[in-house]
């Protein structure tokens, strides 16, 4: 019964990690500019993420190693240093965007400039990491993310025509601005398949002491949880498509995006959007900072773990503390969180082949997954992801320049 409860909780709290500044911003822009036609991109990216998360959890449950630790052991630190450095850089930008997004949400509620809220929010995030444990961070913060279901409720209450929505799950070529369309496709993938989510998921499996007997929990959590989160992102896109689509509006700010709630929630629209944005961004900020401690600790062989006494994991604590401090320093200078988000998700695509390729090796070695190696379907999916990742890595910078 306890395992079933933890499973249900894990699926629900997956929203807290899935719905954040990247998924909200890309979904709103996609819906406003191209209607329902990019629903397929969210669905495809979510399937990729769920498959990779399940594999990361499988490695952790069987070998008791996170992805960062397994990559270091299997390929050596010299191979790992490049993707590790790139991930730390991208996570710093993404953490900056998350703190900025949360600060803008507080600004929308109070009217006080968002730069004034960055430092207090960074401090609260650090206090959560200092005093909390993995259960508090994953379940406590994650449960607050349920407020983002307001995107799904809004889409449902707007009574969309199901025919065009169904056609949105079929890839198509737009009648206008193909470059912008392609840029948003790549951005949705980058916002969804984020490297920090995979290592955080595997590290969490180790923190919760998963074993091979828990692989069924891993499968259901990965597939159902990510599916639950993607439903919210799709609700965000559908709402933006219905409200902004007829105006052919290009959404440049979060304050502008909040107006899509007005036809549904009336005078509560801005407050509800701000809560959804703020809680989603704050939860993701805590997870990204924590993963900085995980990734650096595992790569350098430090003792790590949020459930351990802080004095026993001082370097791990220093890593997530410095990550937060750096992100606060960047965000407080007034960088536009929406622009930082789009840059970070584009750069995520650049390193995607280095993220996916090690899975192809790890998932076929019994040392890491025992008898639970990938079959032809799993290997085919990984090979496809590697090729697609390489292609997107080539085109993402030109698309960022001409369509971003």
Kindly list the domain boundaries of the chain, sorted by start residue.
Answer: 2-403
- Tell me how crowded residue 146 is: count the other CB atoms within 10 A of its CB: 16
Residue 6: pLDDT over 60: no
If we measure between CA atoms, which residue out of 38, 325, 2, 326 comes closest to residue 167?
38
In total, the chain counts a number of residues equal to: 404
If we measure between CA atoms, which residue out of 37, 86, 53 comes closest to residue 346?
86
**Residue-wise pLDDT tens digits, 284-310:** 899 899 999 999 999 888 999 898 898
Residue 317: pLDDT over 90: yes
Residue 13: predicted pLDDT: 46
Instruction: Please give the Cα distance from 51 to 45 (Å, whole number).
Output: 10
Residue 323: pLDDT over 50: yes
If we measure between CA atoms, which residue out of 139, 122, 126 comes closest to residue 207?
139
The phi and psi torsions of 209 (rounded to 5 degrees) equal 60, 45
Residue 148: pLDDT over 60: yes
Instruction: Please give the Cα distance from 221 to 210 (Å, whole number).
Output: 12
Q: Summarize the confidence of residues 164-172 as an average pLDDT.
A: 90
Instruction: Please give the Cα distance from 80 to 108 (Å, whole number).
Output: 41
Pick the CATH number of 2-403 from 2.60.40.10, 1.20.58.220, 1.10.4160.10, 1.10.10.10: 1.10.4160.10
**H helix intervals, 77-214:** 77-110, 115-131, 134-135, 142-144, 150-157, 162-167, 178-192, 195-207
Q: What is the mean pLDDT of the chain?
A: 84
Instruction: Please give the Cα distance from 240 to 261 (Å, whole number).
Output: 9
Confidence of residue 38 (pLDDT cuts 50, 70, 90): very high
**CA neighbours closer than 13 Å in the CB half-sphere of residue 221:** 28
Q: Using only the alpha carbons of the chain, give its radius of gyration.
A: 20
**Residue-wise pLDDT tens digits, 64-74:** 888 888 888 88
């Amino acid at each position: 019964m306890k395992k079933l409860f933890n499973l249900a909780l894990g699926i629900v709290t997956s929203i807290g990690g899935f719905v954040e500044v990247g998924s909200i911003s890309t979904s709103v822009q996609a819906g406003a500019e191209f209607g329902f036609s990019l629903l397929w991109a969210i669905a495809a990216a979510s399937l990729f993420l769920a498959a990779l998360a399940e594999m990361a959890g499988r490695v952790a449950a069987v070998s008791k190693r996170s992805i960062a630790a397994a990559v270091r052991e299997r390929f050596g630190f010299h191979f790992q240093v490049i993707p590790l450095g790139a991930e730390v850089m991208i996570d710093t930008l993404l953490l900056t965007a998350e703190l900025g997004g949360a600060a803008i949400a507080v600004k929308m509620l109070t009217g006080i400039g968002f730069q004034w809220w960055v430092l207090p929010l960074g401090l609260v995030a650090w206090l959560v990491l200092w005093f909390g444990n993995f259960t508090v961070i994953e379940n406590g913060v994650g449960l607050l993310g349920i407020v983002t279901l307001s995107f799904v409720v809004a889409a449902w209450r707007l009574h969309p025509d199901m025919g065009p929505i169904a056609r949105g799950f079929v890839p198509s070529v737009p009648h206008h601005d193909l470059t912008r369309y392609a840029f948003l496709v790549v951005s949705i993938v980058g916002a969804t398949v984020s490297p920090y989510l995979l290592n955080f998921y595997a590290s969490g499996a180790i923190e919760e002491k998963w074993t091979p007997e828990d692989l069924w929990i891993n499968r259901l959590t990965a597939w159902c949880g990510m599916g639950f989160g993607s439903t919210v992102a799709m609700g965000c896109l559908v709402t933006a498509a219905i409200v902004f689509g007829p105006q052919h509006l290009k959404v440049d700010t979060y304050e502008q995006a909040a107006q899509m709630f007005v036809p549904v929630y009336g005078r509560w629209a801005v407050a509800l959007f701000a809560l959804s944005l703020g809680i989603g961004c704050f939860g993701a900020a805590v997870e990204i900072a924590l993963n900085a401690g995980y990734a650096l600790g595992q790569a350098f062989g430090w003792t790590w773990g949020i459930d351990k006494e802080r004095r026993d994991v001082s370097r791990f604590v220093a890593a997530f503390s410095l990550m937060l401090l750096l992100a606060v320093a960047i965000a407080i200078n007034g960088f536009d969180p929406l622009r930082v988000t789009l840059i970070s998700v584009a750069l995520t695509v650049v390193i995607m082949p280095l993220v996916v390729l090690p899975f192809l090796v790890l998932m076929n070695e019994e040392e890491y997954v025992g008898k639970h190696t990938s079959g032809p379907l799993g290997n085919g999916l990984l090979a496809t992801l590697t090729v697609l990742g390489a292609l997107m890595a080539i085109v993402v910078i030109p698309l960022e320049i001409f369509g971003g």
